[in-house]
Amino acid sequence: MESDIILDILGNDTRRKILAMLSQEPMYFNQLAREIDVGQQAVLRHLQALEESGLIETYAEKSSLGAPDRKYYRLNNSFILTVSLSEDDFTVTKQEIVESRHKESKKYYKVLDLMPEDAGEALASLKASLSNIETEMSNLESRLNDLRALKQLILNKLHKIGMEGFEEDERKILYMIVKESPSSIAELSDMMDEKESDLKTILSGMRKKMNNDSAKVLLDLQ
């Protein structure tokens, strides 16, 4: 799913509430309408939009009282959506949440394998594991935020150099080369939706503004 579609979906408060409720457990329609306290027709429209987007799915569960099967809604996607906005950068990235089982995380996976049979002990074990994981995630987020700040400083310097030494069309190419590292003129052409011949002309002019070694590293695309 494209990030802009996800942002459009999440821009609605009722849809966010529905997703928050379903993140706790699957629910049937009347449960959701009651919990969210929104008109049933409105809830139904939002559920349809979420299902069409692939964020949720439905399944049927048989009733123990002989009533018709009950239709439940549940989440159908696991991902992280990151929006980065600063003076020098705007990016939206989507990353699927998958089990990579890095060696640093194996101790937490072992908790699941050694889960006590007693419900109380199991809940206590899960609580302790979640607390440890949250602490570790907080530490990693702090480190990641520091790297984001460093990235912003580097981009700021990049844009300053671009503004001081290059024309507008040259700056667009410069930013693309530094940030995306295309391996060829053809790849750069696809990224920028520009003709290769036009790009070659601009690159030729840019080379004259750099020393030979720098131009070779940055601008010599095959």
Give the phi and the psi of residue 26 in degrees, each rounded to 5. Answer: -60, 150
- pTM: predicted TM-score of the whole model, two decimal places: 0.74
Tell me the pairing of strands 70-75 and 56-61.
antiparallel
Contact assessment for residue 199 and residue 173, using Cβ atoms and an 8 Å cutoff: yes
Same structural domain, 111 and 63: no
Contact assessment for residue 159 and residue 88, using Cβ atoms and an 8 Å cutoff: yes
The pLDDT tens digits of the residues spanning 22-43 come to: 999 999 999 999 988 888 999 9
Is 161 a domain residue? no
Domain count for the chain, please give it. 3
The pLDDT tens digits of the residues spanning 150-187 come to: 999 999 999 999 999 999 999 999 999 998 899 999 99
Return the closest-CA partner of residue 207 out of 217, 193, 198, 194.
Answer: 217
The pLDDT tens digits of the residues spanning 73-126 come to: 999 989 999 998 888 888 899 999 988 888 888 888 888 888 888 899 999 989
Range of the domain at 147: 79-153
Same structural domain, 149 and 83: yes
End residue of a domain, out of 35, 55, 75: 75
CATH of the domain at 214: 1.10.10
Same structural domain, 119 and 142: yes
Task: List all residues 6 or more positions away from 171 whose beta carbon is below 8 Å from its beta carbon.
Answer: 162, 163
Cα-based angle 169, 171, 177 (whole degrees, multiple of 5): 110
- Does the structure show a pLDDT above 90 at 2? no
Task: List all residues 6 or more positions away from 133 whose beta carbon is below 8 Å from its beta carbon.
Answer: 108
